Amino acid sequence: MVYLDLTDLGLRSGDRHERTYPLDLEPVLLGGVEYEILLANGVDVSVDRVAGGFLVTVAADAKAYGPCARCLGEAVLKVRAEQQEFAPTARDGWEESEFSAFIEELVVDVSGLVREAVVLALPPQVVCSPECRGLCPQCGRNLNNATCECAAQEVDERWGRLRDLRLEDGSGS
């Protein structure tokens, strides 16, 4: 866990503090699946002293390792995670909901802020490649390695009438 006390920086208006912190993140759970996160170059943190407070920016190049959502093979995904938070020096005039969950009493939870930035940078579905064909729903064969001989899945005839349904697109054409 990395914490940064903004008051210890001694910044005056217009000043900037920059530093790279080594950081290990706990695995991220996406859709019930665990992904390991590696920040090989650490996390870049910059703090700007601006009118009324501090502007905290975190940026990191991350790699996520885990199973492909389509074929269950290993997926390695590179993402650029960035996030900014404002920390006001005076709490007057601010609603409680406007304060960052990662900054309390001008102490920044760098680990939490970076973790959120990485999660937000990840796509909704982690795949080994955009062309991944996944697994056959009947036999489970990896369709990236070979084709299978499974027959096309039969459609429940109770739903068959939906094939003939034509909806208007609402454009009037």
Over the stretch 1-36, which tens digit does the pLDDT of each residue have? 888 888 888 888 889 999 999 999 999 998 888 999
Q: What is the predicted pLDDT for the residue at 140?
A: 86
pLDDT tens readout for residues 30-66: 888 899 999 999 999 999 999 888 999 999 999 999 9
Distance CA 106, CA 4 (A): 8
Total domains in the chain come to: 1
Q: What is the predicted pLDDT for the residue at 161?
A: 79
Is the pLDDT at 162 greater than 90? The verdict is: no
User: Does 111 map to a domain?
Assistant: yes
User: Does 77 map to a domain?
Assistant: yes
Domain of 42?
Answer: 3-121
Distance CA 103, CA 81 (A): 18
User: Does 147 map to a domain?
Assistant: no
User: Does 40 map to a domain?
Assistant: yes
User: Does 173 map to a domain?
Assistant: no
**Do the beta carbons of residue 35 and residue 66 sit within 8 Å?**
yes
Tokens coding 172 = 């009037």
User: Does 156 map to a domain?
Assistant: no
User: Does 134 map to a domain?
Assistant: no
Over residues 65-81, the mean pLDDT reads 94
User: Does 30 map to a domain?
Assistant: yes
Tokens coding 46 = 């910059």
